């Protein structure tokens, strides 16, 4: 069975500082990994995904994530946080070897960036 863990309910950072939002996953096969962001009263917006190739993936709004197979992690990072980055972030996984399955999401991490 697939699962995603986001160990932190909330991450607090000051504007201009680097941020990391953690994600670990479990799949029986090889993973496709995704990050989404949700602003208040909005649906989820796609940020980036890892399919294959370089372990470091760059996405929207200056975010990037690093796939680490040995640690089964896909942490989201940004070198310099903005107040406007404050939102709810979801990590998601699909098993590459199982067709017809949908994304499985973590419970989300609230990022709060203070000015």
Partner 1 sequence: ETGVTQTPRHLVMGMTNKKSLKCEQHLGHNAMYWYKQSAKKPLELMFVYSLEERVENNSVPSRFSPECPNSSHLFLHLHTLQPEDSALYLCASSPDAGPGTEAFFGQGTRLTVV
Separation of alpha carbons 99 and 41, rounded Å: 32
Instruction: Choose the binding region for partner 1 from 18-26, 43-51, 60-68, 74-82 (rule: CB under 8 A).
Output: 43-51
The structure tokens listed for 111 are 């990022």
Residue from 19, 74, 106, 111 touching partner 1 (CB under 8 A): that is 106
Establish if 89 lies at the interface with partner 1 (CB under 8 A): no
Alpha-carbon gap, residue 92 to 102, rounded angstroms: 10
Q: Residue 28 and residue 20: Cα distance in Å, rounded? A: 26
- Report the alpha-carbon distance of residue 90 to residue 94 in Å, rounded: 14
Query: CA neighbours within 13 Å on the CB side: how many for 97?
Result: 6
Task: Verify binding: residue 90, partner 1, rule CB under 8 A.
Answer: yes
Q: How far is the CB of 10 from partner 1 (least distance, A)?
A: 11
Among 19, 95, 109, 113, binds partner 1 (CB under 8 A): 95
Positions in the binding site for partner 1 (CB under 8 A): 4, 9, 32, 34, 36, 41-46, 49, 51, 90, 94-108
């Amino acid at each position: 069975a697939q699962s995603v863990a986001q160990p932190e309910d909330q991450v607090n950072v000051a504007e201009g500082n680097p941020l990391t939002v953690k994600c670990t996953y479990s799949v029986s096969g090889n993973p496709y990994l995704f990050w989404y962001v949700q602003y208040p009263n909005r649906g989820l917006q796609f940020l980036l995904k890892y399919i294959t190739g370089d372990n470091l993936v760059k996405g929207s709004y200056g975010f990037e994530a690093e796939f680490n197979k040995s640690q089964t992690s896909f942490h989201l990072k940004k070198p310099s946080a903005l107040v406007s980055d404050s939102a709810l972030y979801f990590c998601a996984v699909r098993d590459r070897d199982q067709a017809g399955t949908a994304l499985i999401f973590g419970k989300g991490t609230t990022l709060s960036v203070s000015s």
